[in-house]
Structure 1
């Protein structure tokens, strides 16, 4: 057995736990960086304290390391100390009080109402064109996830009341309103659906073979529709859900209602859509706030 705790730990990863050579090399790189940091402090790995680990993380941050890299390195250090604890080489884990840095959450891209109008303005004939129009109108109208819309059956749709019953994450169901344009497109599709659907298929949206339309096919059809309408933005089905949420919030400002419509269990998930157009806000502020307007004679 090696005298190096790092090498002993890596041997366990590659031997007992069957980690790939690439994963072990990544662990070695991260732990060697930590070892070098401790060496500069004349501190042995088994003598390190929480402040040493915390200072190492802070140093990596100052060096410009990404949050993802820092989290990976901290994970490797946690694994090392867990191993040393299990083997009885240390009696206290210095990583227990260390929290991994949180990455900045990216705001979702959002299509403008004008882009949505261009995307959904196709008037092509045929059952497939009618299906696609109904599919994407419904996705935008009701903010559905890709997995939710491909799982819909005909019985889930009630156009007389303008509602669709959706089964979301955790098998939770919710009833979501369907907008008028989506209802019109769906009526047209339902009249043509029999041309494609196999007799034993209950799916609302079916493919050329008559069976339930798959998620990959939806992605391909959306890209094709975007190209046909000269929409030069990378499109994926979830962008329609993002657009629904953002446009609803811009119009209503009702975060709780949008949370229910989206089927979010936690309102914090919905709050990512509350980003604001700060240029527009500045213009409103300049027009409306008494202290924003310059008075005569001011410089």
Structure 2
């Protein structure tokens, strides 16, 4: 079955995805589409051209019955939709059947942002000044300064950085530029001054490991956890929590949801609203303070 037409189509779809997606996304979609292939082949479907709305719904229903969580179901549906789009572009299907199947409702599950003072103490804790410590400090500062995703930071090259901003490749291969704060710039300058002690000749990655090669996702996560533990942070630290802290702290100060959306690289404003956990009381207070007809005039509020 491994060389069936369906598997050939799935492999071709994943090959196109590999050009823009992170390794984690690619592996997740591969897992999802292998589950789809198993489901279809059990029903004697060996060609993506036979995919229809009924099959997609039955597949997701079967996965739900197996106990798959809503978030995993949503990713399954996204992978099937990506496969459907690929088949449409290849002329195998006339339309994408997954587009007619709704995404499972997801529960709000957000990492708790670090307290501003707590994060300042973490970042300002002295280190031993070694190349590895300077590199880790630069990564910490850049995650918090610019709100980068793990894959975005890991994929940075030297050429992506200039004096005041960094160019990143976001989800779906969408490029954007984000500012780099003064503290992050100082930390980056200190790292760049000693980077050659670790980097292999010709290596263009901004962050490298002991062997001189680009630092991988897992290695970055491990270093962040280890540095936070050594510096006395009583809670688990991971890159996404620094990104969430960036967004939450910036929104609290600026109250500019559109700007935060742009900096985070979100396609939809609704994603930013959920991500930053903008609460109703904050919105209501902003509304009362800013809207010209939100409050009664003083003379209307007096007793008559």
Both proteins in one fold, TM over 0.5: yes
The structure-2 alpha-carbon separation of the partners of 1:28 and 1:255, relative to structure 1 and needing over 3 Å to count, comes to: closer
* Residue equivalent to 1:106: 109
Are residue 221 (structure 1) and residue 230 (structure 2) matched?
no
Per the alignment, residue 151 of structure 1 pairs with 155
> Following the alignment from structure 1 to structure 2, what is the Cα–Cα distance between the partners of residues 66 and 202?
41
User: For 1:115-173, what per-residue CA distance to the aligned partner results, in whole angstroms no more than 9, with x for missing partners?
Assistant: 211221232211000000001101110000000001111111112xx111111112221
Q: How many residues align?
A: 211
1:8-47 to structure 2, matched below 5 A, reads 14=42, 16=44, 30=65
User: What pairs with 1:40-119 in structure 2 (closer than 5 Å)?
Assistant: 68=70, 102-119=105-122
SS in 2 for 1:176: strand
CA shift in 2, pair 1:207/1:30, >3 Å: closer
- Equivalent position SS for 1:158: coil
1:135 equivalent among 131, 134, 139 = 139
Aligned counterparts of 1:244 and 1:184: Cα–Cα separation in 2: 18
Aligned equivalents of 2:162, 2:63: Cα separation in 1 = 58
For the pair shown, the structure with the greater C-alpha radius of gyration is 1
Structure 1 pair 264/12, CA: closer, same or farther in 2 (3 Å)? closer
Task: Give the 3-state SS of the residue equivalent to 2:124 in structure 1.
Answer: coil
Name the TM-score, length of structure 1 as normaliser. 0.61
- Residue of structure 2 in register with 1:123 after alignment: 126
1:25-75 CA-partner distances (Å, limit 9, x unpaired): x959959xxxxxxxxxxxxxxxxxxxxxxxxxxxxxxxxx99849x89xx9
What TM-score, normalized by structure 2, do the two folds share? 0.60
Over the residues paired in the alignment, what is the CA RMSD in angstroms?
Answer: 3.7
Q: Distance in 2 between matches of 1:229 and 1:277?
A: 35
Q: CA 1:224–1:251 in structure 2 vs 1: closer, same or farther (change >3 Å)?
A: same
Give the distance between the partners of 1:128 and 1:104, measured in 2 at CA. Answer: 38
Residue 254 (structure 1) aligns with: 256
Q: Take 2:244 and 2:63, find their aligned partners in 1: how far apart are those partners?
A: 40
